[in-house]
Amino acid sequence: MGKGKRTLLVGLFLNFVIVFLFINSVGASPNVYYGRVVGIEGPIFQVKAENGEVSVFWCGYKTLLESRLPFIGDRVKVEYIKDSLRRNAATRIAVLK
């Protein structure tokens, strides 16, 4: 195999890897969820919506708390994204009145 063909193959492979990484990183737009907190277990919040659906949100060191830490029974607005493990990662939590 000539040196030119090897360079071409390596270049195509690197372009494929870069494009694949960009495709996976796009689409991290935040979603909004409203409901009442029904459970807290460490960094995990369980929030029940008006229609009775319960969703689980993971909180981390990048989670921004608007006012205070929510307690069970508080009405909250949760902005979240899907993280690399396909979990609901909370980016912002606001306690509503």
DSSP-derived 3-state class of residue 29: coil
Q: Are strands 54-58 and 44-48 parallel, antiparallel or unpaired?
A: antiparallel
| pLDDT of 96 strictly over 90 | yes
pTM of the shown model: 0.68
State in words which class domain 31-95 has: mainly beta
pLDDT (tens digit per residue) in 68-92? 889 999 999 999 998 878 889 999 9
Q: Which are the contacts of 45, defined by CB distance < 8 A and separation ≥ 6?
A: 37, 39, 56, 57, 59, 70, 76, 78, 90, 93
> What count of Cα atoms within 13 Å lies in the side-chain half-sphere of residue 46?
9
Q: For position 22, what pLDDT does the model report?
A: 73
Q: Domain limits of the chain?
A: 31-95
DSSP-derived 3-state class of residue 20: helix
